[in-house]
Amino acid sequence: MPLRPTIPAPSRPPLRPRRRGVLALIALAMCAACWLAAAGPVRADTIPVKAAELRIDEGEVLLNAEFDLSLNPTLEDALEKGIPLYFDLEFELTRGRWYWLDEKVAQTTTVYRISYNALTRQYRVASGLLTQTFNSLDEVERFIGRVTSRPVAAADVLAKGDKYDAAVRLRLDVNQLPKPFQVNALASREWTLASDWQRWTFTP
């Protein structure tokens, strides 16, 4: 019998460079997800909350709070190397409604920027238009951790005799860190420092 000619199988076209790049990114993302899952959830260092209260004075709702803020050696070292740290003081005031979602009466965020000057060996804390300098990190921690008579709402937005739910917390804002340190914050508890939400009821 005459031999039949063999027809070569069609060759697969090479992947386009753009497609190869997309596949590489997908593989990298899957590897990162598997690594984070295997490592387990990262627990943040906790900032203890000592006290929190509201009072009304001269037409304003004022917040008093005290946090036991203490930076770990990793954060101290970052400051000394010129990396500023940002802390957010977050406050919420809501009123429950049985017929709908809770009413958000007030919501404020105070941002503290901490930096270190190696020449003067002083720490600087900036918050809005306010800037103060300190000779030690202990002074910085006490300054940020003590909230005294901070206005959070106008008193006339509250109904006298109604019950309100207040909540406050202090946390390191890792989104303000340089990009390489944001990656470290995902996998290291030394870069995640925050208090739990401190909640209480307030009746004007």
Q: In Å, how far are 118, 162, 191, 195 from 187, measured between CA atoms?
A: 29, 44, 9, 19
Q: Which segment of 48-57, 66-75, 175-184 scores lowest on mean pLDDT? A: 175-184
Look at residue 187 in the predicted model and tell me its pLDDT.
Answer: 65
User: How many other CB atoms sit within 10 Å of the CB of residue 102?
Assistant: 12
- Average pLDDT in the chain: 83
More confidently predicted of 98 and 3: 98
Cβ–Cβ under 8 Å, residues 61 and 151 = yes
Cβ–Cβ under 8 Å, residues 85 and 75 = yes
Amino acid letter for position 90:
E
Q: What is the dihedral of CA 35, 39, 42, 45, to 10 degrees?
A: -130
More confidently predicted of 95 and 16: 95
Residues ≥6 apart with Cβ < 8 Å to 48: 67, 68, 195
Quick: pLDDT tens for 125-147.
999 999 999 999 999 999 999 99
Is pLDDT above 90 for 29?
no
Identify the residue whose tokens are 């790049």: 21
Is pLDDT above 50 for 100?
yes
Residues 153-176: what's their mean pLDDT?
A: 95
Strands 49-57 and 198-202: unpaired
Give the pLDDT band of residue 71 (cuts 50, 70, 90).
very high
Is pLDDT above 70 for 5?
no
Look at residue 44 in the predicted model and tell me its pLDDT.
Answer: 55
